[in-house]
Every structure is written in structure tokens, then in C-alpha cells.
Amino acid sequence: MSPGSLFPSALIEPAAARALAGGSWRSIAIDLLGRPPLAAERTAWGARPMAEVVDELCAGPEFWQNWLEEQLYYFLLIDNFRPETEGVTTLPAALAGGKLGVVEALHRICLSSSFDRRNPGPDTFVSVVMEQLLGITVQKVPRELEIGKKLYDGASGKFLGQAGSSQADVVHIAIEDPRAARHFLTREYQRLLRREPEPKALEAEARRLSAEPGAFPALVRDWFASPAYAERLTQRAPLSNRLFVRALFVDLMGRLPEPDEGQRIRSAMDGLADSRPLRALVARLLLDSGKVSLPERAALTDPEAWIGETFERLLGRPLKESERTEFLAAFADPACRPATVLYAIVSHPEYQTW
Amino acid sequence: MRRPERKTKRMLVISLSGGIRSRETFGTPANVPNLMRLAAQGVTYPRTRASNLGHFGATLSIFTGISEARGIRDNARGTDPTLFEYLRKDLGWSAGDVWISTSGGAQESNVSYSLHPEYGSAFGASSLDGDGIFNAEFKGILDAYGKPREMPPAEVALLERMRGSIGGADRALAEEAETSARVERFLLDELERGTQDLNGIGASDAKALKVARNLLAVFRPRFLSVVLRDADVAHSSFNNYVQVIRRNDEMLGQLLDSLRRDRELAETTSILVVPEFGRDADLNSRRGLDHGDGSDDFRYVTMVCAGPDFRRGEVVNEEVRTIDVCSTVCDLLGAEARYARGSRLPRLLS
């Protein structure tokens, strides 16, 4: 174990201690940073133990920026409702610096004016706080909803067993409820490990998070060291539109989209139940824009090696024999450009999973 | 028993979601001349009961025929099959036959199909969110990167050959790719038609209705649904809410006119318009209207149905429910809403 690592030795599985295949690094980077590895990272991480790299990533501001984006999306605080106030935009730095814990960060998000605008009126506001922060089905507890609405309007009452008398109190009380940490950890576990947490472990982790507000990165590291994450690495799931856009830019342009640019494209894709046609359109836009660094066809003296490397990089796996035959035959035709090869891969459903 | 032959071959269902009271529609006919025109040609149900399930849950229940609580910001698909899935599975319709045009962004595309094990994505509707795609900002992306070049047929064939080999050949994927290419073309054309230039209060709904009008012309779907949302501006402004209702009615008028001009569509299309729920009886402290007071203004909305098989100029005062839409549409088109809990609308057929 590397010095300073927060991986508990007892939990380290072989996968956490050894170097991984390229496809796993792609998954880990998308899970933690919301993007595939950059070229320099692919080289640097290749031979390092997973635990060491995960430790490093969880300590950085990019991890927290990605975490914040996931939370804002969860609350649907996107597009016109995206919070731009300092209280929210400074969260990644504050979280990375250990000045704040995740539950307090959620508190700040829910107190933002964007959250209020997104959830106008007492019925909507209190329902969303109860549903999104605590995982409560409000229709099952209509009395609590009614009390919460009274607090929202400035009257005094006991909401979820605690006294309050304002809209802000609705949020304070919900955040301090033990269900808030449990619900947060459940949805983060589902997001990162693609399965339900074990109830006992969840209880212990929720207690730990309440006692140590800055414990979330350590919990993530534990999760990544577990057999459950090793199993998750063997599964593929569809990329969300946000992750797809970021992956596409990194893979084709070698950089992330500008925040505004990424947001606009993601928002357009969100408008389609099946966003594949628009994903394909955006991929073609980029490939035909002249802004993607593409090798000259004539310079590719070993097309098989280039196609194989492209498969490894974009799909995280080696080229299969049948694919090798078809791609090489197609590429032998002068009508096939390097951009055509890239387009075939990034517009295929497999590229849209990780 | 053999199902009677009906003239209805296509249906258009417009969900006036966002919370609209009957007071500002049928109670103020000047706000909605086109809806009144439609009502005069069909059947009106002024006692249509809705449930307080939040916008998303209430809208979803129209399409599933099941009143089920969903979180207001629940950005996930439902577990009950939708109308779209019943139609596609039972009638063997393709994704291009069944569409939904929305105005509410990410959350609403979840209406297009459920996670039900017998149905799901394979039977979902094709969906387009007007405001998500056709906005000036997205057009700006197109301007920044330029339009994609036309791919010569020889290159397309090579592309398909390579793409088809990834992970092993799959015929279903090839068919999907064809639909995908048509949608891709539609998106580019729509951007050129200037849909992104609609702006102001109610612009998202206006785009959804305009997209629906163009979808009808290009894809001629057998089932098209439009889900609107902008009326929810009522929380903070009653005047803006009324403005949204008027603008939607104007766009509805354009959609209906476009349908009427196409003889084949006019003779075979039935239309159903319904809000997901109403709004409170009284103004709030911001001079707006919330939703959730349990009043009749909130719980009862007015539904209108017009089509070649329906009675004309009839008002049915019997209580019906918004969840009856699913069973009624399925019955009309020949599908079975197996899990829906609604009923067929009474006194609808002529």
C-alpha cells in the first residue's frame, strides 16, 4: 500500500493492488472524473496499482467538480436552473480542501436560489426536499408534507419531528435527518457500483459520514477496493448524455468540451428518448470540422496497428478477428478515410457504454 | 368477436401539462378559440378527474393508465408499460410510427417507454424535446463546427460494413441505423427551418407543437403525442400563465390547420387534448397559482376528443379520469392496455 493511502488493507482485493487493463482505466476515469483518461494519463497510469491511482484521483478537484455535476443533474438543476452563485460554484474547491463535507454541500445546493426557482411553490418545494434528500414517498406521509408546506409559508410546526418556521428550516431539518446520509450514500453506491448497498454496511457508512463529514472520499476508495467494484468492471452500462459528450470530446479532440458547449450539447441530447441520432450527428460535426487531429491516410503505413490501437483506446478492448478482417478490407478502399473508421466506432452502440 | 372497422388510423394526444384549470380554458373561451373549435367538432368531458402526482407522475399516468406516485424530480423511467409500448408491441409498429414531442427537457423523455419486463425500450416512442434541441445555443454549436459533409454512397457502404462488424453483425441494429439516419436528417432540416428562433414566454411549448406539426408532415406517424409544460409559470405569474395558454392555443390552431390541409391525415386522425391536472382555486401571495390545494379547480380538468369515429358537439358530464386516455386510445387503435386501470371513455363513439 502506498504511503498515505486510505485503502484499508483488509479490503484490498488483488485488482486494487495491481495494474489494470486499459478498458478498466477507462471505466475508472469515467466513474471518478466523468471522462476517459487523457493520452498522458493512459501512459502514466498503465503500470501503477489501481489503489494508488484511485487515491490520487479522489483527492483532486476534478473528482469534486464531477461529483457536483452529478448532484446538480440529480436535482435537475441544469440549463436555466444551474446555480451560478458562489455558494455552489466554490463547492468543488471547498470539498477538495476538506473544508466541507458532502452533506453540507447538499445543504448549500438546496438553499440556493436556483433550487427555489426550480421547485416553485410550497407543494413542489417540500415534496422535492422530502423525495430527493430523504428518499421519502410523500404520498405515503401526507401529514408531513402539509406541515412542511406550513413551515415554507412561515408558520411554526414540527416537521419530521423537529421544530421549524421557515422555508430554510425545511431544508435544515431534512439535511439533519439520519435518512439524508443514508439516501445520499445509497444513490452514490448505485451510481458507482451499479447495485444496491448491503443494508448493514450502509448503516455503518451513514454513521461514519455523520461523524466524519469529510469521509466520503475514503468511502469511495473502500468501494473501489471491494469485490463489488471488481465485478462492476466486468459490466457495461449506457453512458449518460453528459458522459457521452465529455468522452467524445476527449477521444476525438483530446480535450473536454467548454462547460457551456458541453451543457448545450447534453441538453439537446436529453430531449431525445433515444439520443443516438443526435450523438451520431455531433460525432460527424466534430470529425468533419477540421478540428480533430486525424492521421493522414497515406501516413498510416500499418493500418492494422492503428485500427487496433483505436479499438483499445475507444472501446477499451482489443480488436476481434472478424472486426480486423472487415475494417482492414474497408480501409483498403480509397473511399474510406481515417475519419470514417473513427465515425464507425464512435457511432456504434458499444462506444456508448462503459 | 371481430373488432368493428374504424376510420381512425392515427391519433394525436396533446397533454396540456404544467397544470391548467378549466377556468382559463373553457371558462374563458376567448383564451382558447382553437380548442373551442375542436370541442365543437367532438366530445367534451368537463368532469375529468386528475390526481396529485406531481407533473411528471400525473403526465406519466395519462400514458400508463395507472395513477402512481412519482417523485416530482424523479428522472427515471416508470415501471408500468406506456401507451406507446402497447401500440408498438400489439400492432407491430416501428419506432418511426410512434412519436412524442415534449417541451420539458430531460425528465420528460422518460415518458417514452417503461422498464416493464414485457415491454421496455424495444417498444418505446421516438421522442424529441423541442426546447432541448431547437434552441439558439445548440444552433450555435452547429455554426461553430460547421455542417457535416455529405458522405458519398461508397463511403456510407464502407462505414456500414465496418460498423456492422463491431461486436458481431445484428440485423436489428441495421434497421435502427436506418431510422436513426432519418431522424438525424430531420434534426438538421428542423434547425434550418428556424424552430430554434421561437422565443419568449411559452417558447418551449411552442417549439414542441411546431416540431409535432413537422413530424406529422415528415414521418406521418400513426401515433403522436405532445407533452407541454410551460403553464407551470403560473406559480409566479398568473398573467404569464394565461399568455402561455393563449400561445399554445394559437400553435394548436396551426397544427390543426396543417392536419386539415392534408386530406389523408384529416380523414384518419383522431385528436385528444387533456391537462394532467388543474391549479389551486385561489391566487398565492405572489399573485400566481400553485397546485395542490385539493380543490375542484385542481382535481377536475376538461378533456376534448375529436375524430372521424366520434360524436360531434357533445358534452358528457359524467365523471371520467385522465388515466382513461390509455385504454381509450388502445381500444380505438386495436391494442390492449393490459395493465392499465382506466376505462374506455363513455359516449365517445358515434
Question: Average pLDDT in the B172-177 region?
Answer: 61
- Grid coordinates representing A136 are 421519502
Residue from B162, B178, B290 to probe the interface with A (highest A Cβ count within 10 Å): B162
pLDDT confidence of B168, banded at 50, 70, 90? Answer: low
Residues 6+ apart with CB under 8 A from B337: B65, B83, B86, B326, B327, B330, B331
Looking at residue B97, its pLDDT comes to: 92
Cβ neighbours of A134 in B, within 8 Å = none
The whole-angstrom separation of Cα A25 and Cα A18 is 12
- Write down the pLDDT at residue B134: 73
Q: Do A131 and B73 touch (CB under 8 A)?
A: yes
Q: Tell me whether residue B260 is exposed, middle or buried, using C-beta atoms within 10 angstroms of its C-beta: 0 to 12, 13 to 18, 19 or more.
A: exposed
pLDDT more than 90, % of chain A: 76
pLDDT in tens, A138-155: 888 999 999 999 999 999
Q: How far apart are CA B251 and CA B35, in angstroms?
A: 11
Q: How far is A20 from chain B (nearest CA, A)?
A: 22
CB B68 within 8 A of CB B82: no
List CB contacts (< 8 A) between A326 and chain B. 161-162, 164-165
Query: Among partner residues A140, A340, A345, which is closest to B166 by beta-carbon distance?
Result: A345
What confidence tier does A3 reach under pLDDT thresholds 50, 70, 90? very low
φ, ψ (nearest 5 deg) of residue A242: -60, -45
Report pLDDT digits (tens) over A100-115. Answer: 999 999 999 999 999 9
- Tell me which of B166, B173, B176 to substitute to probe the interface with A (most A C-beta atoms closer than 10 Å): B166
Give the whole-angstrom CA distance, residue A213 versus residue A35: 27
Q: Which residue of A has its CA nearest to B68?
A: A139
**Could you give the CA distance from residue B312 to residue B306 in angstroms, rounded to a whole number?**
7
- Distance of residue A167 Cα from the nearest chain B Cα, in angstroms: 15
State whether residue B73 sits within 8 Å of chain A by CB. yes
Helices (H) and strands (E) in chain A, counts: 23, 2
Stretch B8-23: mean pLDDT, rounded? 95
DSSP B11: E
Length of chain B: 350
Confidence band (pLDDT; 50, 70, 90) for A14?
A: very low
Torsion, Cα of B319, B323, B329, B335 (10° steps):
-130
Give CA–CA dist A272/B133, Å, rounded.
Answer: 9
Phi then psi dihedrals of residue A238, to 5 deg: -65, 140
Q: Nearest-CA neighbor of A284 among B245, B151, B286?
A: B151
Chain A interface includes B263 (CB < 8 A): no
Report DSSP state, residue B150. P
Instruction: Considering only residues A198 and B71, tell me which one the structure prediction assigns the higher pLDDT.
Output: A198
Whole-number Å distance between alpha carbons of B212 and A62: 41
Cell of B311: 360524436
B161 in contact with A at a CB cutoff of 8 Å?
yes
Interface contact B71-A349, CB threshold 8 A: no
Cβ within 8 Å, pair B155-A336 = yes
Inter-chain residue contact B145 with A124, CB threshold 8 Å = no
Q: Does B73 contact A128 at a Cβ distance shorter than 8 Å?
A: yes
All cell numbers assigned to B258: 396543417
Residue tagged 438543476 (cell numbers):
A77
Q: Considering only residues B197 and B301, tell me which one the structure prediction assigns the higher pLDDT.
A: B301
- Let me know how long chain A is: 354
Question: Which pLDDT value is given to residue A212?
Answer: 94
Predicted local confidence at residue A248, as pLDDT: 97
Nearest to B69 among A73, A124, A139 (CB): A139
Confidence of residue A9 (pLDDT cuts 50, 70, 90): very low
> Which range, of A23-37, A238-252, B80-94, B205-219, averages the lowest pLDDT?
B205-219
**Structure confidence by residue, pLDDT tens digits, A236-261:** 899 999 999 999 999 999 999 998 89
Overall average pLDDT of the A190-214 stretch: 95
A80: left (phi over 0), alpha (psi -120 to 50) or beta: alpha
Contacts of A131 in chain B (CB under 8 A): 71-74
pTM of the predicted protein model = 0.74
Three-state SS sequence of B168-208: CCCHHHHHHHHHHHHHHHHHHHHHHHCHHHCCCCCHHHHHH
Considering only the beta carbons, identify the residue of A121, A273, A286 that sits closest to B126. Answer: A273
- How far is A318 from chain B, CA to nearest CA, in Å? 11
Q: Do the Cβ atoms of A183 and A165 come closer than 8 Å?
A: no
- Of B127, B142, B176, which has the smallest distance from its Cβ to A272's Cβ? B127
Reported as a single tens digit per residue, the pLDDT across B108-156 is 778 889 999 999 989 999 888 777 677 666 777 878 888 788 889 999 9
Mean pLDDT confidence for A8-34: 68
Best B102, B103, B123, B165 member to test A by mutation, with max A CBs in 10 Å, is B165
Residues 6+ apart with CB under 8 A from B208: B101, B102, B103, B129, B130, B131, B226, B227, B228
Q: Which residues of B touch A139 (CB under 8 A)?
A: 53, 69
Mean pLDDT value across residues A27-55: 91
How large is the ipTM? 0.83
DSSP for A114-179, please give it. Answer: HHHHHS-SHHHHHHHIIIIIH---GGG-HHHHHHHHHHHTT--EEETTEEE-SHHHHHHHHHHSHH
The pLDDT of residue A7 is 39
Q: Closest-CA residue in chain B for A333?
A: B158
Query: Rounded to whole angstroms, how far apart are CA atoms A151 and A170?
Result: 7
> In the predicted model, what is the mean pLDDT of chain A?
90
pLDDT value of position B184: 77
pLDDT at A132 exceeding the cut of 70: yes
From chain B, pick out residues whose CB is under 8 angstroms from the CB of A323.
165-166
Rounded to an integer, the average pLDDT of A191-209 is 96
Asked whether the predicted pLDDT for residue A194 surpasses 50, the reply is yes
On whether the CB atoms of residues B345 and B42 are closer than 8 A, the answer is no
Distance from CA of A172 to the nearest CA of B (A): 20
Distance from CA of A242 to the nearest CA of B (A): 11
CB atoms within 10 A of CB B33: 14
Burial class (CB in 10 A: 0-12, 13-18, 19+), A290: exposed
Alpha-carbon dihedral B196, B16, B41, B4, rounded to 10 degrees: 100
Average pLDDT of the residues of chain B:
89
pLDDT at B1: 54
CA distance A106 to A102: 6
CA distance A108 to chain B (A): 18
- Give the lowest-confidence range in A7-11, A101-105, A318-322: A7-11
Residue A78 in grid coordinates: 441544469
Cα of A264 to nearest chain B Cα, Å: 6
Q: What is the mean pLDDT of residues B27-36?
A: 97
* The pLDDT of residue B247: 96
pLDDT at A5: 38
CB pairs under 8 A between A and B: 194
Share above pLDDT 70 across residues of chain B, in percent, rounded to a whole number: 91
* Amino acid letter, B66: I
Confidence of residue A349 (pLDDT cuts 50, 70, 90): confident
Inform me whether the pLDDT recorded for A292 exceeds 70.
Answer: yes
C-alpha span between B72 and B322 (Å, rounded): 18
Is A336–B158 a contact, with Cβ atoms under 8 angstroms apart?
yes
Residue whose entry in the numeric block shows the C-alpha cell 472486426: A323
Closest Cα to residue B9, out of B337, B325, B329, B348? B329
Query: In this structure, are residues B120 and B95 in contact, taking their beta carbons and an 8 Å threshold?
Result: no
- The grid coordinates of residue A319 equal 480488436
